[in-house]
Amino acid sequence: MDTAPVIVESRTFLPIRFVAQELGATVDWFPPDKVEINHMGNKIELWIGKNSASVNGSFILIDPANPNVAPFIQPPGRTMMPLRFISENLGAKVDWLPPQEARITYPDPGL
């Protein structure tokens, strides 16, 4: 990654492209503020600064526990998104291992 993960609003944010492509998804940028992720027939649409996303046509909050969580642009121009939201919506399981480690299991064995 050319942009380090950051913690914002107590959530770990990573570049969307890094997570999505590692799970086999494609990522497209539609200026000025939309990102579209496609994976195995599923489509996720996100907008910079908006706390909701469209997942297969249904709008959901990115983080129901914290409405302040929204994608943002981090220099040098990377779209940052919560690790859990992207991973879980692409069929992975995310476990938090305190104090500072996340484990992603793909595919989620529970699905």
Q: Residue 41 to residues 5, 10, 26, 30, 66: CA-CA distances in angstroms?
A: 28, 31, 11, 19, 28
- What is the per-residue pLDDT across 54-110, written as a single tens digit (0 to 9) for each? 999 999 999 999 999 999 999 888 999 998 898 899 988 988 888 877 888 888 888
Per-residue buried b or exposed e for 66-76, using 16+ beta carbons within 10 Å of the residue's own CB: eeebbbeebee
Q: Residue 70 to residues 36, 101, 106, 110: CA-CA distances in angstroms?
A: 15, 22, 24, 27
pTM: 0.87
Q: What is the pLDDT of residue 97?
A: 84
**Domains by residue range for the chain, with CATH:** 6-105 (3.30.457.10)
Q: What is the pLDDT of residue 36?
A: 97
Mean pLDDT of 40-46: 95
